[in-house]
Chain A
Amino acid sequence: GEKVEQHESTLSVREGDSAVINCTYTDTASSYFPWYKQEAGKGLHFVIDIRSNVDRKQSQRLIVLLDKKAKRFSLHITATQPEDSAIYFCAASPNYNVLYFGSGTKLTVEP
């Protein structure tokens, strides 16, 4: 089955800097790649996604890049703010609605 590897387990940046979280996947059939954010003690919250028909998507300060040849995708958070501090999960879907999650990246934005 699909395996998603999330490369950074922790990431610390200064407020205003950019943060980049990288993920790789194994199944060439994967065509949908969402990102979720989890704040302490809460459930996951959708932040952005990208589908395999494009290689870049932006929503305000969030940019997602997809490199299908390398089976790699990444989340870029620009102009980081303290409220961006959370655990971020990447995921990939090779099948209808079935997501395979990475292990999470704990992002800390320091003032």
Chain B
Amino acid sequence: DMKVTQMPRYLIKRMGENVLLECGQDMSHETMYWYRQDPGLGLQLIYISYDVDSNSEGDIPKGYRVSRKKREHFSLILDSAKTNQTSVYFCASSQGKNAEQFFGPGTRLTVL
């Protein structure tokens, strides 16, 4: 059952609090991604992970960090969240070069 899961689905935090978004996949995909989606901007890549402990910055990494200690799990961490990090965050995974990316259902984060 090819699936990407994200937890939590909805999250409300106060400015300055730490945030942990979790992503899992059951397809043993090497590559995993974190994106954020804002109205009118499409999806923007925050980080890409090519495998365990092999992470690279995307277009908008500032204010975020990631952790991948197991192939099936990829975490996005916001240390001291800011109001402009209010967004919908999507995780995705893929296998091989320029292959189909499988997306999770998203996490709607609100930072007050």
Residues of A within 8 A of B (CB): 1, 4, 6, 9, 31-32, 34, 36, 42-46, 49, 51, 89, 93, 96-104
CA distance A100 to B59 in the complex (A): 9
Q: Does B74 contact A (CB under 8 A)?
A: no
Digitize B77-100: 1 where CB-to-A-CB distance is under 8 Å, 0 elsewhere: 000000000000010101001111
Q: B108 — nearest CB in chain A belongs to which residue?
A: A41
28 cross-chain CB contacts under 8 A: A1-B59, A4-B42, A9-B40, A31-B98, A36-B103, A42-B105, A42-B106, A43-B4, A43-B92, A43-B103, A43-B104, A43-B105, A43-B106, A45-B103, A46-B101, A46-B102, A89-B42, A96-B98, A97-B48, A97-B97, A97-B98, A97-B99, A98-B45, A99-B43, A100-B59, A101-B44, A103-B42, A104-B42
Q: Does B25 contact A (CB under 8 A)?
A: no
Q: Are A96 and B103 in contact (CB under 8 A)?
A: no
CB < 8 Å neighbour of B98 from A36, A93, A100: A93
Q: Does B58 contact A (CB under 8 A)?
A: yes
Q: B90 — nearest CB in chain A belongs to which residue?
A: A43
CA distance A46 to B98 in the complex (A): 12
Main DSSP-derived SS at the A contact region: strand
Q: A34 with B100: in contact, given A97-B48, A97-B94, A99-B45 (CB under 8 Å)?
A: yes
CA distance A102 to B90 in the complex (A): 16
Q: Are B100 and A46 in contact (CB under 8 A)?
A: yes
Residue of B41, B50, B59, B101 with most partner-chain A CB within 10 A? B101
CA distance A46 to B99 in the complex (A): 10
CA distance A97 to B102 in the complex (A): 12
Other A-B contacts than A43-B104, A97-B48, A97-B94, 18 sampled, CB-CB below 8 A, are A4-B42, A6-B42, A31-B98, A36-B101, A42-B105, A44-B92, A46-B100, A46-B101, A49-B100, A51-B98, A93-B98, A96-B98, A97-B31, A97-B50, A97-B98, A100-B45, A100-B59, A103-B42
